Amino acid sequence: VIERTEQLAGQLPGAGVDALLVTALPNVRYLTGYSGSNGLVLITPRGRDFVTDFRYVEQAAVEVDPGFTRHRAAQNLLQMVPELLAGAARLGFEAEHMSVSTHQRLGELCGAGVQLVPTTGLVEGLRAIKSPEEVQRLRAATLLADEALERLLAEGLIGRSEREVAIALESHMRAIGAERPSFETIVAAGAHGALPHAQPLDVMIEPGQLVVIDWGAQLDGYCSDCTRTVATGELEPEALEVYTLVLAAQIDGLEAVRPGATGLDVDAVPRARIADGGYGDHFGHGLGHGVGIEIHEPPRLSMSSEDTLVAGNVVTVEPGIYLAGRFGVRIEDLVVVTEDGCDILTTVPKELRTVG
Ligand code: ZN
Ligand code: ZN
């Protein structure tokens, strides 16, 4: 993985800096392989340094790419930065990830001879384009999550609370090898499904409801993300109609994903389908987001996106319709952008399923 850091080092002159301090842990993990909770990377003209404290020295010895020189610092890792800088005068920091107080401390430690320069999105830009090996990890995380859902649905939903079902799904994921859920599982039945980010409640799932399940597994450091909406019996006609519309819109969205398309273009296609169907006011969120080491990362597919897709991006396509007080439907797949379209990682079927 040291090639990633060399690529990053090549971008530093363009960003107006001669050294870069990487403190966001997902970025540290991407560059070094380190998965602990205290660590930083410093890229200077002189070297590639990784700093952690005594608690993580052994873990770092196993995980950190040998292209880095490893250092052990006091718990405040920044104290090591001035000596490692070795004369670099313009030090870039990650403006989106550093607190004001950390910035202040860093300035005091480095002194007047070093100028702190804000940078944004340098590592994230590299992370947005997945290597074949990263795609393989995302595919494995997705398959694991898919298998966990099948185990859950085989047990049935009616008579269990949303919370019980969410816990059961997370426990299935862990039982078959997930490090952890990649975010807090959403299980939302009936009217509760009209809240896109519903927290599972201690409320029983009843027959004849739509149940939105949004879940993901983290495996080898990479996240999966998928949503399915299932029925627990015969539905009112409008619920069926909305399901059919969301499914058609989701398929439209998948077909719009290709290199060169903007996040704005791709978002617009399913949004138009939903508006034509008469539900334009009920799809209030963006169409999708990048997924990788983090569950939400660039690029974005939305009405305010400034991103353009390239091969190797991994994004979700997740339109939804939410009718307050009644029900919600969302269908989400995870896809990798290929040279001429996209490859769908998710394997769970999308036709409406009825689960007792
Ligand atoms: Zn999701
Ligand atoms: Zn998502």
Residuewise pLDDT in 10s, the chain (356 residues): 899 999 999 999 999 999 999 999 999 999 999 999 999 999 998 899 999 999 999 999 999 999 999 999 987 899 999 999 988 999 999 999 999 999 999 999 999 999 999 999 999 999 999 999 999 999 999 999 999 999 999 999 999 999 999 999 999 999 999 999 999 999 999 999 999 888 999 999 999 999 999 999 999 999 999 999 999 999 999 999 999 999 999 999 999 999 999 999 999 999 999 999 999 999 999 999 999 999 999 999 999 999 999 999 999 999 999 999 999 999 999 999 999 999 999 999 999 999 99
C-alpha 109 to ligand 1 mean position (Å): 42
| 3 state SS of 93 | strand
Number of Cβ atoms within 10 Å of the Cβ of 282: 18
Within a 13 Å sphere around the CA of 16, how many CA atoms are in the beta-carbon half? 7
For residues 328 and 158, give the distance between their C-alpha atoms in angstroms, rounded to a whole number.
Answer: 18
Ligand nearest to the CA of 297: 2
C-alpha 62 to ligand 1 mean position (Å): 32
| Torsion (CA) 4, 8, 9, 14 in degrees, nearest 10 | 160
For residues 42 and 91, give the distance between their C-alpha atoms in angstroms, rounded to a whole number.
Answer: 9
C-alpha 82 to ligand 2 mean position (Å): 40
User: What Cα–Cα distance (Å) separates residue 283 from each residue in 121, 279, 314?
Assistant: 29, 7, 22
Question: What is the pLDDT, as a whole number, of residue 83?
Answer: 93
Which residues contact residue 278 at a Cβ distance below 8 angstroms, ignoring those fewer than 6 apart? none
Please give the model's pTM, rounded to 2 decimal places: 0.94
Ligand nearest to the CA of 330: 1
Query: Cβ distance 186 to 197 under 8 Å?
Result: yes
Question: What is the pLDDT, as a whole number, of residue 61?
Answer: 97
Query: Cβ distance 297 to 324 under 8 Å?
Result: no
Residue that is written with structure tokens 């909305």 in the block? 242
Query: Cβ distance 102 to 24 under 8 Å?
Result: no
